Amino acid sequence: MPGLCRRGVDTLAVKYPYQQYLRDERGKYIKVYARTEAELAEKVKARQAEIDRLIMLQKNPTVRVEALVWMKMQPAGLSASRLEDFDLALRRHILPHIGDLHIMDVTASHIAALMQAEAHMSRSMQQKIVYVLKGIFALAVSEGLVSTNPCETLKAGGKTVEQKDSLTPEQREKLIDAVRGTRAYTFVMVGLYAGLRTEEALGLKWDAVTLDGETPCINVRRKLLWEKGKKEPVVYDDLKTTAARRIVTIPDALVEALRAEKDTGASDFVIHDTKGQPCTQAAFRAIWSLVERRQLDEYRPKKRRSKAREVDADGNKANRRGFHTGCPHTLDFAVTPHTLRRSYATELILGGADIATAQYLLGHKKGETTLNWYVKIMQGRPADTIKKVRAAFPSSGGN
């Protein structure tokens, strides 16, 4: 044992003859040593103050401490992206405001001030903030730290993010032509013609793809996630919801693209890195950069925009050393991976698919989600709505 010589003599007691026992914050006895009586009194006083502070913190922890406990209690099956959402809400939007307050001292006024300070955030982010706040204080109530939850009636506000447009048929064809022959081609085709989520597309294996027969289809049954702290991606058989597990029939254009990719025999995964392995986050960024590099600067994400550089007659931008990349910048519209899925939904709905069919093919758990997409798609499309109006009210030939 530390402090004991081979004969069992407490060497600390020899060096420090003055000693006193204290019960610490865990309820265990600890010994305080000193050379003189005055030194012992000073050390005991300081140690007791620290014990009292820790006991008080256990009974009334700070929001920061309680938040860490709440995070550790999240269920194991929660996705890495969801945990990252919670972590972001805590670090950037909650703890800077109330992290150092003791849980008993937080009032509805503190919460209102926090939400007011974050009013400029999107509604989606505010919903995450509200969820985390309610969870932290619900835990505090269950532990008996506070009697009421100051966030119980809290509701998210925030700005509604402007709905991103889906691609027009012309833009869709322009995108396909721009990436044809690149590693982004298969991913773009799967998004546009099957509407898979990014994690579903990256987790897709050939054993879930049927290209022959009368009903070629994709059996959506896996997802690929990039989890915090793990270097390699993780492929799961459980999807976002039970509704996400579905069989998506695919059109001829996608069948041809997938058959050409399968014939290469490069990997068990439909979309993969240069070594045939499932895509890491960096590998997928490299794939999607093949799309971004073909966009005009003003349509790229701001952090991807280049500085002003020389442009040749074909629209090719020079790299930092002045050499042209040979990559024409032909995409004069914004596009993200999710735009591909939204464009698929748009074509489904405009093509006459009913809500139930669209809900199934998109893997939506709630019909309300699909209905909201339907409403947003049809807004501002009089050329499409007039067809439905005329079909509903056919001319009778009378006045």
Q: How far is CA 187 from CA 120, 176, 255, 261, in A?
A: 34, 10, 13, 11
- Can you give the pLDDT at residue 373? 74
CA distance 110 to 90: 15
pLDDT tens string 216-272: 999 999 999 887 777 889 898 877 778 889 999 999 999 999 999 999 887 999 999
Confidence band, pLDDT 50/70/90 cuts, at residue 394: confident
pLDDT above 80 (res 60): no
Identify any residues that bridge with 32 across adjacent strands, giving them in sequence order.
20
How far apart CA 217 and CA 215 sit, in angstroms, is: 6
Q: Which pLDDT score is estimated for 247?
A: 95
Read off the pTM: 0.66
pLDDT of residue 340: 95
Q: What is the arithmetic mean of pLDDT over 299-305? A: 63
pLDDT for 397 equals: 52
- Residue 41 reports pLDDT greater than 70: yes
Q: What pLDDT does 212 receive? A: 92
Residue 112's nearest CA partner among 154, 62, 64, 51 is 154
Quick one: how far is CA 52 from the chain centroid?
Answer: 41
Q: Answer for the pair 226, 250: CB distance below 8 angstroms, yes or no.
A: no
176-189: pLDDT as tens digits: 999 999 999 999 99
- Binned at pLDDT 50, 70 and 90, residue 324 comes out as very low
Q: What is the band of 9 on the pLDDT scale with cuts at 50, 70, 90?
A: low
For the segment 3-29, the average pLDDT, to the nearest whole number, is: 71
CA–CA separation, 318 and 307 (whole Å): 10
**CA dist., res. 135 & res. 151, Å (int):** 9
* CA separation, residue 361 to residues 16, 141, 164, 355, 367 (Å): 76, 42, 21, 10, 12
Q: Is the dihedral of CA 198, 202, 207, 209 positive or negative?
A: positive
User: Average pLDDT of 337-356?
Assistant: 89
Residue 4 confidence (pLDDT): 43
Q: What's residue 306's pLDDT?
A: 58
